[in-house]
Chains A and B, each alone.
Chain A
């Protein structure tokens, strides 16, 4: 059930530990808790983009820098590394694992590209169940109790989707380096699944785990070659109007924000409200 391999170093039965190191350990863990909550808060902030009014670029840049700083520190002191080790091959630096979750909000039948799905893992955090609503392609997050690495959960989704016969891009699987890590995950986690059955049927059609390099987006580039992309770079990411998949820290806006309040599945309203707002605007334009 606990997949990260970080054994708790001090146990209750150890009498050798002095008060100082206990306090030190507590301070360290409270620091890392604070740091974690700061990271979570920052990611939520990046995610809450207003549809009709452009977000404040300065604020977004400052929040993104804060997130990057936390990630770097977590990488530096190894807490990030241990997590990413679980599902990346040897010889890869942790920073390559610092990819963001990115989901296209709208399903595109004409899109030959496989949909992208990558992972941010949280050390020692709650299990985060990723559920995809295939009608709206939005990502839902559910907050359950067990302490499972996200990558493992993804692996399970993948595995179960395979079993349930959902269509999948073969290429994506082959490209994915998660494969080897995945199998290990699944073996250890089979018996520990707390995933509810209904989620398996809602998994995305295709997945591809990115390893940090910019994905192939030639198909979309062609589609949008006549559009001035300067308008779309950061702005669209931050406003949730995604035209072309881009990688990088700003993609964190789509990453999983644990819902602290309830364990029930909470779907991100972004895409739905996007559509409603657009409908409303089109009505006004067409109606007048």
Chain B
């Protein structure tokens, strides 16, 4: 059972603190990172119980949802820190005399198969498989060693006893189980776990590799768009994802605004696509920036596997996999920036890579914008809302107020004009709980978790 999108109900009752309709309310649960590290990826696991964030310093912080207490009917579980570990360290490539950043580009969870949790984390060059396991028992009563670990004097061992397991404080351990290295010349931008739960793909600017989770010393190269002469390079891979149900299908997007769907059954090297998705350009809106803003920064399959969503600089598009010549839905994220493209090119904001995500039922999509704004679109009602993730405007358990950007003319109260937007406050990474209306929004170095509440 999926709850209707709460934010839209909220938009209706903005003038009152009472709850109308189904009485949904958006609350804010804010947790901030202890250091100033910038969050670079956010991902819920398959059940939604865990939320992983990666940051620029190479650390991974995992939050766990509290179990709902029967006593407190009104509160849903809050997310608290579960585990923190250093996933990647900065490295130095001696051959090229270049530093390899430790920034985590992507985290993807593996489906849970036993008590432990597994996730893949990737920086620019290396992917690591981490096992996160709990330890809440400790064996006591060893024969050969004392409680503090020192070996016992052999003469003092007179009897044999069976060690017993005693409860201890919960300890969460993260250990690297596999390191998949040296397979990427260029920067890794995507990883995606296949539905067979045995393989995963990793994509950099020019190549896509297919790995087996158990095998670290080799991978299959399945896409290679590097030209023989690098001077002819005009297009790079920007994102890639495996189909959620068909383990032979994956897609990758490019900097020219195209998406290619490939079938690994067709050939060992999937340079020839099975399907090619591109929307014809509108000649009236052509400018020198047309190509840059058409570059796709993220591609995500819907949970159903029937649609996919792409994010380019100004819009989000939903594609039906059966129709290649145009998207079925297009949502404008911040069309008011179209007239500012030159300034955004100058300050490099035009190259910002925004991500997008589906809700659990594929009825709504979410993506980020500037000024710590993020946008949600309901696909059924075609309504949309802009919300802000900031401390000043949302206290814990307070309702979120919809925001509006004034595009011209007279600015109404509570509206923000385009020129006062803060382009340093950008929300690039957002995630939606796979089953419930809980969202995680990363605003620079702060993580905001919002959930809806029934009064």
Which residues of chain A have a CB within 8 Å of any CB of chain B? Answer: 34-35, 38, 41, 45, 52-54, 56-59, 61-62, 64-66, 69-70, 230-231, 233-236, 239, 241, 246-250, 278, 281
Contact B288 A35 (CB under 8 A): yes
B72 at interface, CB cutoff 8 A: no
Complex Cα spacing A231 to B98, Å:
12
Contact B99 A52 (CB under 8 A): yes
Contact B99 A235 (CB under 8 A): no
Contact B233 A234 (CB under 8 A): yes
Chain B interface residue count, CB cutoff 8 Å, equals: 32
Contact A66 B231 (CB under 8 A): no
Complex Cα spacing A285 to B76, Å:
53
CB distance from A246 to the nearest CB of B (A): 7
Complex Cα spacing A230 to B345, Å:
30
Contact B288 A62 (CB under 8 A): no
A57 in contact with B236 given A235-B96, A241-B96 (CB within 8 Å): yes
B206 surroundings in chain A (CB, below 8 A):
57
Contact B231 A248 (CB under 8 A): yes
A61: nearest residue on chain B (CB-CB)?
B236
B213-255: CB near A (< 8 Å → 1, else 0) gives 0000000000000100011011110100000000000000001
Contact A56 B255 (CB under 8 A): no
Point out the residue from A41, A52, A54, A247 that lies within 8 Å of B231, measured CB to CB. A247
B238 surroundings in chain A (CB, below 8 A):
58
Contact B101 A53 (CB under 8 A): yes
A54 in contact with B234 given A61-B255, A62-B351, A278-B97 (CB within 8 Å): no
A231: nearest residue on chain B (CB-CB)?
B96
Contact B98 A58 (CB under 8 A): no
B95 at interface, CB cutoff 8 A: yes
B293-305: CB near A (< 8 Å → 1, else 0) gives 0010000000000
Beyond the given A53-B98, A57-B206, A230-B226, please list 20 additional residue pairs across the A-B interface where CB-CB is below 8 A: A34-B342, A38-B288, A52-B98, A54-B98, A56-B351, A58-B205, A58-B236, A59-B351, A61-B235, A62-B291, A65-B291, A231-B95, A231-B96, A234-B233, A239-B98, A241-B97, A248-B231, A249-B231, A281-B92, A281-B97
A281 surroundings in chain B (CB, below 8 A):
92, 97
Contact A57 B187 (CB under 8 A): yes
B182 at interface, CB cutoff 8 A: no
A70 in contact with B185 given A61-B235, A231-B96, A250-B231 (CB within 8 Å): no
Complex Cα spacing A64 to B292, Å:
11
B104-118: CB near A (< 8 Å → 1, else 0) gives 000000000000000
Complex Cα spacing A241 to B295, Å:
28
Residue among A41, A61, A230 with max Cβ neighbours from chain B (10 Å): A61
B346 at interface, CB cutoff 8 A: yes
A-B complex: 10 closest residue pairs judged by Cβ atoms: A248-B231, A233-B230, A57-B205, A234-B230, A52-B99, A59-B351, A58-B236, A62-B292, A54-B98, A53-B99
A54 surroundings in chain B (CB, below 8 A):
96, 98, 124, 187
B186 at interface, CB cutoff 8 A: yes
24 of the cross-chain contacts (CB-CB < 8 Å) are A35-B288, A45-B348, A52-B97, A54-B96, A54-B98, A57-B206, A57-B236, A59-B348, A59-B351, A61-B234, A62-B292, A62-B351, A65-B291, A66-B288, A66-B289, A230-B185, A231-B95, A231-B185, A233-B230, A248-B231, A249-B231, A250-B230, A281-B92, A281-B97
Point out the residue from A41, A65, A233, A239 that lies within 8 Å of B234, measured CB to CB. A65
Residue among B185, B186, B231, B238 with max Cβ neighbours from chain A (10 Å): B231
Point out the residue from A45, A57, A249 that lies within 8 Å of B186, measured CB to CB. A57
B205 surroundings in chain A (CB, below 8 A):
57-58
A52: nearest residue on chain B (CB-CB)?
B99
A248 surroundings in chain B (CB, below 8 A):
231
Complex Cα spacing A70 to B291, Å:
12
B351 surroundings in chain A (CB, below 8 A):
56, 58-59, 62
B255 surroundings in chain A (CB, below 8 A):
58, 61-62
Residue among B95, B97, B348 with max Cβ neighbours from chain A (10 Å): B97
Complex Cα spacing A41 to B343, Å:
11
Contact A41 B187 (CB under 8 A): no
B226 surroundings in chain A (CB, below 8 A):
230
B275-319: CB near A (< 8 Å → 1, else 0) gives 000000000000011011001000000000000000000000000
Complex Cα spacing A2 to B98, Å:
45
A52 surroundings in chain B (CB, below 8 A):
97-99
B98 surroundings in chain A (CB, below 8 A):
52-54, 239
Complex Cα spacing A230 to B205, Å:
14
A239 surroundings in chain B (CB, below 8 A):
96, 98
Complex Cα spacing A106 to B234, Å:
29
A-facing residues in B181-204 (Cβ within 8 Å): 185-187
Complex Cα spacing A259 to B228, Å:
35
B92: nearest residue on chain A (CB-CB)?
A281
CB distance from A277 to the nearest CB of B (A): 8
Complex Cα spacing A128 to B195, Å:
59
Complex Cα spacing A35 to B288, Å:
9
B236 surroundings in chain A (CB, below 8 A):
57-58, 61
Complex Cα spacing A64 to B288, Å:
12
Complex Cα spacing A246 to B233, Å:
14
Complex Cα spacing A274 to B255, Å:
30
Point out the residue from B96, B231, B345, B348 that lies within 8 Å of A246, measured CB to CB. B231
A236: nearest residue on chain B (CB-CB)?
B96
CB distance from A223 to the nearest CB of B (A): 16
Point out the residue from A35, A58, A70, A234 that lies within 8 Å of B295, measured CB to CB. A58
B206: nearest residue on chain A (CB-CB)?
A57
Residue among B96, B98, B289 with max Cβ neighbours from chain A (10 Å): B98
